[in-house]
Homo-oligomer: A and B are copies of this chain.
Amino acid sequence: MRLVTHHAGGTARPGALLAGPDGDRLLDLGPALPGRTVVDVLRDPAVRAAAQAAVDAADPGGLPDAAAVRLAPPVRPGKILCLGHSYSGHLGRGRAPDDVPAFPDVFVKTPNTLCGPHDPVVLPPAAQHVDYEGEVAVVVGRTAHRVPLDGAEAYVGGLTLFDDVSARDWQSLTSQWTLGKCVDGFGQLGPAVVTADEALPISGRELTVERDGVVTVRSSTDALVFSPAFLVHHLSQVLTLEPGDVIATGTPAKLPEAAAAHVPLRHGDAVTIAVTGLGSLTTTFVDGPPPASRPDTPGGPS
């Protein structure tokens, strides 16, 4: 299933994307799953079975066009954990391409960074060099505490896309990247969580990023240094992962010509991440003011 969160009747509800003859349609899962969220679908087999039954029974032809629906972030993570230097070929300054790190370099994006697949990202006046990244994100499905590597994949609820927007000038001011990473709205997630039964293995997928129509990143998920199972195992030795938590697996490097031509993002720029089987996610960048209806303000989605 491709699970989304949308709004109906003023509340956040789970939904599913179904392929129609002319594009995706949106099935509202609210009636089948009253009071439930996408996280409930991921963590509870009974809820997942009810969602699957509703999907199987639906006629896409009678459903609304998904492109006309404003989606919220598919989940609201308690923790957003992100990786740097996690693709072969994007291993950081001074590393040879075959110098593969033994451990993932993890940083945190705070909850204020979360935005949905249709929310523009506001360029703050204080940041001079805002950049994009294109990532596959693991969404945790079950509580994971000190999980052995063997069997860790069962804790993956699904995969989605993530733009780890970064203020490079703030990121490089200090040893820790936090203030360049935790800017309001700098974590776009979605559009859909593709459930693990369809999304795994993570390998064998093409990841591309287009900026204003030009492909700037092109890689295969085969180049990921760490598997979702290893990440769940490794991280859960010290911290408990909860359903809905996100582990963003990091970005491949820009293509050499794109890196050479790179300039900071500006008002009106659009960046689209696309990954085989996981859909696409477009981030649009705007100068202020801050959006009035950010999903993490009171009254927003779950």
Contact = CB atoms under 8 A, between A and B. Distances in A.
Contact of A182 (B112, B176, B239): B239
B126 A183 contact: no
B78 A179 contact: no
Interface stretch (A167-175, A197-205, A279-287): A167-175
A267 to B, nearest CB: 18
A183 B240 CA distance: 8
A91 to B, nearest CB: 12
Interface string A148-177: 000000000000000000010010011111
Contact of A103 (B81, B103, B174): B174
A105 interface: yes
Contact of A179 (B92, B179, B238): B238
A111 interface: yes
Nearest to A108: B108
Interface in A264-287: none
A80 B242 CA distance: 18
A80 to B, nearest CB: 9
Contacts of A180: 238
B238 A107 contact: no
A237 B239 CA distance: 30
A258 to B, nearest CB: 24
A100 interface: no
Interface string A186-208: 00000000000000000000000
Contacts of A118: none
A47 interface: no
A211 interface: no
Contacts of A84: 175-176
Contacts of A239: 110, 112-113, 179, 182-184
Interface in A59-118: 78-79, 81, 84, 92, 101, 103-108, 110-113
